[in-house]
C-alpha cells in the first residue's frame, strides 16, 4: 500500500496518491495531472478512480483532464450534479483499489455534496480518512463558501455538526486524517500548519470536536467572524462542476513571447491587466506604469484570485525569464486561463527599449518611525486577525483583500505609508493604489517584522487564538 500526500504550499492544498496491487486512486488532484500519470506508470500501475471530496471553490481540480487522459472514473459524493460522466456515489458505497477498500462517507455541511473517503487496509482495518473540507487539523470547513442556495450558513453548520458527530468522530482514534487544506486556506479560520493528524488528536485539540459541545455552540463558533469568500470562488466551483479546458491547451495558448512593441500594442488594445510577478525588490526599482504586482514566490494564486476576481480577465505577464509556464500553470490552478502572452526578455527589454517606467518609493521601518513623529499617515494592510492581535497605535485596518472597500480613505495629496507582515502584501497594495492614481503611496520595507525592531509605539499583543 502506498499513500502519498502531494502538498502544494501556495494553495495550502493536499492531493493524494493511493496505490495497491497495480491499481491507483487519486483524491482531489491539481489541475496539472501529468505527475500523477508518471507516478502510476513508473510502478506499472493503472489509475482506476479519481475521488473528489466536493466541488472545490479555491482551485480548479484536475479530475476532468485526468479522466480524459487515463480513462479513470470520477467519483463524487451523493447529490453532486455534473456536466461530465461521473459516478455519483451513494452513502457508504465501497470502491476497491487493489487490496484496499475505500468507503464513501457523505458528510454534508461545508457543501451539500461534501464527502469523506475512509480507506480500509488489506486486513479490513480502518486506516485513513481523506476528510476533504469536512475536517481540517484544528478546524472544520466553513459553511457556504461559494454555493448559494436556500440553506443559510447556520443551516449548513448544523448539518456539518451532524456529519462530524455521526460519521467522523465515531472512528477509532488511530485513524489517520488527511485533510484537503492546511494553514493559509480561506476554507477555515484556524487551520493547523500540520498536514497529517489522527482522529484521536483532533478530538483532543480541535475546538469543533469538543465532546460536550452542543449543536448551538458549534453553529455559533463555526460561523462567528467569517469573512466574505473571495470573488473567484464561485467561478472555480462552476468550472469544477461543468468542466474546463485542458491545461495543455491553456499553456499552448498562453505561453506566447511578445516583443515590446507587441506587448505595448496588446496592453493598449485589449484592456488587459499587466501582471508583474517578479520579486518585490525588483518591482520597486522599476515597472511598467499601471502594472499590478503579485510576486510568483508569495501566496501568488490566491492573491490573484482575491484581487483580480474575474477569471476571464485578459492578462499580460511580466515574469522572470524561465518561469513563464510556471506562472501560467499557477494561474490556471485558480481558473485564470486568459493569459495573452508574456513580455519577451522580461522587464529588461522594456527598459532597453527606453519605454516609460514607474517606480515605488519604499522606506525602512526606522524611517517610518521618524515620519510618525511628524504625524505621518499610515495604513495596515494585513488581515483583520493580524491587526487585532497587534498593530501600530492609531493606525487603521485596511486589509489587502478588501482594499477596494477602503479606497476613499487614502489621501489624494499627502504622502502616506502602507505596511503588511513582511513587505510582500504592502507592495501589492501599493501597486494597486498607484494604478488607481495614488502616486503618494510609500511602502514600508520588511513590514511589521521590521517595525517590531523599532521604538514605534504599538498596541499590546493579544494571542490570536483568543480572538473571535
Domains of the chain with bracketed CATH: 2-234 (3.60.15.10), 245-353 (3.40.250.10), 362-466 (3.40.250.10)
| DSSP strand pairing (46-51 vs 23-27) | parallel
pLDDT at 388 over 60: yes
Please state the separation of Cα 417 from the chain's center in Å.
27
Spatial distance between the Cα atoms of 237 and 55, rounded to a whole number of angstroms: 6
Distance set, CA 22 to CA 28, 62, 83, 158, 389 (Å)? 20, 22, 30, 41, 51
Contact 347, 276 (CB under 8 A): yes
pLDDT at 404 over 60: yes
pLDDT at 66 (0 to 100): 97
Q: What does the CA dihedral 140, 142, 146, 152 come to, rounded to 10 degrees?
A: 130
Q: Which residues of 334-356 are buried (b: 16+ CB within 10 A; e: fewer)?
A: bbbbbbbbbbebbbebbeeeeee
pTM: 0.88
Per residue, the 3-state secondary structure of 426-458, as one string, reads HHHHHHHHHHCCCCCEEEECCHHHHHCCCCCCE
Could you read off the pLDDT of 41-87 as tens digits, one per residue?
999 999 999 999 999 988 999 999 999 999 999 999 999 999 999 99
| Rounded average pLDDT over 216-242 | 89
Q: What is the CA radius of gyration of the chain?
A: 24
pLDDT at 227 (0 to 100): 77
pLDDT at 467 over 90: no
pLDDT at 161 over 80: yes
In which element (H, E) is residue 3 found?
Answer: strand 2-8
Q: List the one residue out of 91, 98, 115 whose CA is nearest residue 27.
A: 115
Residues 6+ apart with CB under 8 A from 42: none
pLDDT at 147 over 70: no
pLDDT at 423 (0 to 100): 96
pLDDT at 468 (0 to 100): 47
Could you read off the pLDDT of 168-218 as tens digits, one per residue?
999 999 999 999 987 777 776 777 788 899 999 999 999 999 999 999 999
Q: What does the CA dihedral 231, 268, 281, 185 come to, rounded to 10 degrees?
A: 10
Give percent above pLDDT 70 in the chain: 97
pLDDT at 149 (0 to 100): 67
Tell me the angle at which helices 247-254 and 324-333 cross, rounded to the nearest 10 degrees: 130
What is the DSSP code string of 407-420?
Answer: GGGS-SSS-EEEE-
- Within 226-384, strands assigned E span 257-258, 273-276, 292-293, 315-318, 339-343, 362-363, 377-380
Amino acid at each position: 500500500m502506498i499513500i502519498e500526500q502531494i502538498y502544494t504550499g501556495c494553495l495550502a492544498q493536499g492531493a493524494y496518491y493511493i496505490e495497491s496491487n497495480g491499481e491507483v486512486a487519486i483524491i482531489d488532484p491539481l489541475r496539472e495531472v501529468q505527475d500523477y500519470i508518471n507516478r502510476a506508470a513508473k510502478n506499472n500501475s493503472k489509475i482506476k478512480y479519481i475521488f473528489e471530496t466536493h466541488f472545490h471553490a479555491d482551485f480548479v481540480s484536475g479530475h476532468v483532464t485526468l479522466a480524459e487522459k487515463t480513462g479513470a472514473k470520477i467519483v463524487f459524493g451523493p447529490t453532486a450534479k455534473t456536466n461530465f460522466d461521473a459516478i455519483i456515489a451513494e452513502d457508504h458505497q465501497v470502491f476497491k483499489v487493489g487490496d484496499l477498500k475505500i468507503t464513501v462517507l457523505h458528510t454534508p455541511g461545508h457543501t451539500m455534496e461534501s464527502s469523506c473517503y475512509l480507506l480500509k487496509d488489506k486486513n479490513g482495518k480502518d486506516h485513513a480518512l481523506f476528510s476533504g473540507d469536512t475536517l481540517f487539523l484544528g478546524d472544520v470547513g466553513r459553511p457556504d463558501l461559494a454555493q448559494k442556495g436556500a440553506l443559510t450558513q447556520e443551516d449548513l453548520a448544523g448539518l456539518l455538526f451532524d456529519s462530524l458527530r455521526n460519521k467522523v468522530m465515531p472512528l477509532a482514534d488511530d485513524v489517520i486524517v488527511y485533510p484537503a487544506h492546511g494553514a493559509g486556506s480561506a476554507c477555515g479560520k484556524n487551520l493547523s500548519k500540520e498536514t497529517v493528524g489522527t482522529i484521536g488528536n483532533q478530538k483532543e485539540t480541535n475546538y469543533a470536536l469538543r465532546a460536550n459541545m452542543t449543536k448551538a455552540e458549534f453553529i455559533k463558533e463555526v460561523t462567528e467572524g467569517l469573512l466574505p469568500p473571495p470573488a473567484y470562488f464561485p467561478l472555480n466551483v462552476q468550472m469544477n462542476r461543468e468542466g474546463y479546458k485542458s491545461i495543455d491547451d491553456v499553456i499552448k495558448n498562453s505561453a506566447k513571447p511578445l516583443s515590446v512593441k507587441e506587448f505595448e500594442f496588446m496592453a493598449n488594445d485589449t484592456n488587459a491587466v499587466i501582471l508583474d510577478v517578479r520579486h518585490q525588490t525588483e518591482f520597486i526599482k522599476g515597472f511598467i506604469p499601471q502594472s499590478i504586482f503579485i510576486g510568483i514566490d508569495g501566496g501568488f494564486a490566491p492573491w490573484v484570485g482575491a484581487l483580480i476576481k474575474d477569471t476571464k480577465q485578459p492578462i499580460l505577464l511580466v515574469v522572470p525569464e524561465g518561469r513563464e509556464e510556471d506562472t501560467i500553470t499557477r494561474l490556471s490552478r485558480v481558473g485564470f486561463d486568459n493569459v495573452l502572452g508574456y513580455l519577451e526578455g522580461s522587464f529588461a527589454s522594456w527598459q532597453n527599449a527606453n519605454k516609460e517606467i514607474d517606480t515605488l518609493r519604499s522606506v525602512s521601518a526606522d524611517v517610518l518611525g521618524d515620519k510618525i513623529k511628524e504625524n505621518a499617515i499610515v495604513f495596515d494592510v494585513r488581515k483583520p486577525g493580524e491587526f487585532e492581535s497587534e498593530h501600530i497605535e492609531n493606525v487603521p485596518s485596511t486589509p489587502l483583500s478588501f482594499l477596494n472597500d477602503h479606497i476613499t480613505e487614502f489621501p489624494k495629496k499627502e504622502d502616506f505609508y502602507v505596511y503588511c507582515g513582511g513587505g510582500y502584501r504592502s507592495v501589492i497594495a501599493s501597486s494597486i493604489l498607484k494604478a488607481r492614481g495614488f502616486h503618494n503611496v510609500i511602502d514600508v520595507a520588511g513590514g511589521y517584522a521590521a517595525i517590531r525592531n523599532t521604538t514605534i509605539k504599538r498596541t499590546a499583543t493579544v494571542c490570536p487564538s483568543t480572538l473571535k
